[in-house]
Amino acid sequence: MAPIASDTLASMSLARRDLLIQSGTLISSLAALSVPLFASPRFAKDPFTLGVASGDPTASGIVLWTRLAPDPLNADPLHGGGMDQAAVEVTWRLSEDEKLSKVVKKGKTVATPNLGHSVHVEVEGLRPDRWYWYQFQAGNYTSPIGRTRTMPAAGALAAKLNFAFASCQHWETGWFNAYEHMAQEDLHLVVHLGDYIYEGPERTSGVRKHTGPEITTLTHYRNRHALYKTDAHLQRVHRLFPWIVTWDDHEVDNNYAGDVAEDKQTRAELLERRANAYQAYYENMPLRVSSLPKGSAMQLYRALDFGSLAKFTVLDTRQYRTDQPCGDGNKPACAEVFDPQATILGATQREWLFQTLDRSPARWNVIAQQVLMARLDVAMRAEETFSMDQWSGYEADRRKVLDFLGARKPTNPIVITGDIHTNWVVDLKADWKDEKSAVLGTEFVGTSITSGGDGSDERPNTAAQYQRNPHLKWFNARRGYVRCELTPAHYRADYRIVPFVTKPGAPVETRTSWTVENGRLGVQKT
């Protein structure tokens, strides 16, 4: 059933003129679709069920996001989210105060069916380093008021940056208790390192249920994102802070590598699936139009500056990688691990990373990425064993990155990582086998929001892991997120832990804190 009860049909010529102001990409997509445009629809139900979000801040701009979905889990391809095959005008305003009484920017955009009725407004001309509040309107409904923040001006060395990073939020394995606490934090921004959704089918176990089969179609991926976005705690963290996002594997398919699927899909099948998944990811994240997918390709690696206090280089270690070596899994390193042609970044991204770091004036160079960079013997067998899905499976690329850090010495490199549903604090070493060799940087790995269930402080092989990996400083297998405080003098990581996720209402504690001092490589217990 159509949720739009009555409408004002605007002329397409007028609509195109409005659109011209917003985005050249949307014009062509809407013209190509030739769908009707509703300027003042009457919704029978609130279309803002998925909340609002903002992201990719600069010193002068921000992306504002929402997606119209009055019936968010409606999986009918022609009425996805409860919307029809029509474009809907969405107005927005942005204010200097939370009551929206000092509006400094406003405008119109169009939510189109070909982008799942999502909108991505790129606001420009804002003042640096301050909070703003924003709201959308579509027809007879207004959205919740979101809060967002611009970055400090270029060259400004801010006194402090507070951010939190998170990853891996399997819906079925838990409640988003960690986000309930993240919403209470005093943060400038949030970084998400991937596994925002999981692709698996509905399971019989689990505290919450996926719907339907393993997801492969655009409608499937849209609905899975919508399911996750219905979570009130997740919505709240999106509403309160700008996010910087990147994906890992489960946004498409477990442990896919470039154009190689986990299962028996052909390359063509995987690329079609990847195109669906990437489009739904774009539609559901506060990303710039520069990340709009082109078929099965999407530009996600990018850099963001918090004045001169911090530069985030956000990596994509999935789209460009070669297949996992040695048949994937936890294995002793076979010859393929050392294949000079194998790559986890791809040559283009790797060169971009090196050039970006080489030119960076930032006090802290934060490399935000997916899988464990440090060499880590998982200590599950008598012989050394590594995860072939991590950087330990791609020795040539890791050697190039570590050699770059050693030779070019970008200031205070810090790697932040997700993927493995456990907390790790580890130094990056020039020679892993030589305890006296140079420290090149520090890697903070954050645990999952929910994936893996309640978790534990230790595992049977924890003692062996410490013994076999002297660069490993701390390990923990509880759920939570990592809160980071950066000043010109230090980078401190606070490991925020929730004791359970299989029921709502968990407390939070800072289990441990680790600090890197400016100009002194290597992590220290705070």
Which residues of the shown chain bind Fe ion in the complex (CB under 5 A)?
168, 195, 451
Give the Cα separation of 229 and 284 in Å (integer).
9
Residue 515: CB atoms within 10 A of its CB come to: 17
Residue 243: CB minimum distance to Ca ion, A: 18
Candidate segments 248-256, 261-269, 314-322, 478-486, binder of Ca ion by CB under 5 A = 248-256
Can you tell me which of 249, 253, 377, 395 binds Ca ion, judged by CB under 5 A?
A: 249
Residue 377 interaction partner, one of Ca ion, Fe ion, none, beta carbon < 5-8 Å per kind: none
Whether residue 418 contacts residue 367, with contact meaning beta carbons closer than 8 Å, is answered with no
> Of the two residues 188 and 192, which places its CB atom closer to Fe ion in the complex?
192
Residue 249 interaction partner, one of Fe ion, Ca ion, none, beta carbon < 5-8 Å per kind: Ca ion
| Residue whose C-alpha is closest to residue 52's, from 300, 229, 307 | 229
> Of the two residues 53 and 168, which places its CB atom closer to Fe ion in the complex?
168
Assigned token pair, 196: 């925002």
| Residue whose C-alpha is closest to residue 444's, from 479, 481, 407 | 481
Residue 119 interaction partner, one of Ca ion, Fe ion, none, beta carbon < 5-8 Å per kind: none
> Of the two residues 248 and 336, which places its CB atom closer to Ca ion in the complex?
248
Whether residue 197 contacts residue 225, with contact meaning beta carbons closer than 8 Å, is answered with yes
Residue 451 interaction partner, one of Fe ion, Ca ion, none, beta carbon < 5-8 Å per kind: Fe ion
Whether residue 311 contacts residue 360, with contact meaning beta carbons closer than 8 Å, is answered with yes
Candidate segments 12-20, 414-422, 443-451, 462-470, binder of Ca ion by CB under 5 A = 414-422
Residue 251: CB minimum distance to Fe ion, A: 10
Q: Binding string to Ca ion for residues 463 to 502, with x set by CB under 5 A, is what?
A: ----------------------------------------
Dihedral of the alpha carbons of 499, 503, 506, 511, in degrees to the nearest 10: 20
Candidate segments 13-21, 77-85, 275-283, 411-419, binder of Ca ion by CB under 5 A = 411-419
Residue 31 neighbours by CB under 8 Å, 6+ apart: 12, 16
Residue 163: CB minimum distance to Fe ion, A: 20
Candidate segments 20-28, 57-65, 157-165, 245-253, binder of Ca ion by CB under 5 A = 245-253
Give the Cα separation of 167 and 180 in Å (integer).
15
> Of the two residues 242 and 455, which places its CB atom closer to Fe ion in the complex?
455
When asked if residue 248 is in the footprint of Ca ion (CB under 5 A), the reply is: yes
| Residue whose C-alpha is closest to residue 222's, from 47, 75, 52 | 75
Assigned token pair, 166: 């998170």
> Of the two residues 167 and 216, which places its CB atom closer to Fe ion in the complex?
167
Give the Cα separation of 160 and 322 in Å (integer).
39
Assigned token pair, 414: 């810090």
> Of the two residues 395 and 443, which places its CB atom closer to Fe ion in the complex?
443
Candidate segments 19-27, 210-218, 240-248, 352-360, binder of Ca ion by CB under 5 A = 240-248
Residue 234 neighbours by CB under 8 Å, 6+ apart: 169, 176, 179, 228
Residue 122 interaction partner, one of Fe ion, Ca ion, none, beta carbon < 5-8 Å per kind: none
Residues within window 159-218 making contact with Ca ion, judged by CB under 5 A: 195
Residue 325: CB minimum distance to Fe ion, A: 20
> Of the two residues 68 and 371, which places its CB atom closer to Fe ion in the complex?
371
Residue carrying the six token digits 């002297």: 470
HSE of 183, CA atoms in CB hemisphere, 13 A: 17
Residue 516: CB minimum distance to Fe ion, A: 26
Residues within window 329-368 making contact with Ca ion, judged by CB under 5 A: none
Residue 411: CB minimum distance to Ca ion, A: 30
> Of the two residues 86 and 193, which places its CB atom closer to Ca ion in the complex?
193
Candidate segments 30-38, 63-71, 316-324, 416-424, binder of Ca ion by CB under 5 A = 416-424
> Of the two residues 22 and 167, which places its CB atom closer to Fe ion in the complex?
167
Residue 452: CB minimum distance to Fe ion, A: 8
Candidate segments 392-400, 418-426, 459-467, 489-497, binder of Ca ion by CB under 5 A = 418-426
| Residue whose C-alpha is closest to residue 136's, from 214, 197, 48, 72 | 48
Which residues make beta-bridge pairs with 92? 107, 136
Residue 300: CB minimum distance to Fe ion, A: 17
Which residue spans within 154-193 are E strands per DSSP?
161-166, 189-192
> Of the two residues 22 and 169, which places its CB atom closer to Ca ion in the complex?
169
One-character DSSP codes across 254-289: TT-BTTB-SSS--HHHHHHHHHHHHHHHHHHS---G
> Of the two residues 219 and 324, which places its CB atom closer to Ca ion in the complex?
324
Collapsing DSSP states into helix, strand and coil, what is residue 50? coil
Residue 260: CB minimum distance to Ca ion, A: 15
Collapsing DSSP states into helix, strand and coil, what is residue 434? coil
Classify burial at 439, counting beta carbons within 10 Å of its beta carbon; exposed 0-12, middle 13-18, buried 19 or more. middle
For binding to Ca ion (CB under 5 A), which residues are involved? 195, 248-249, 419
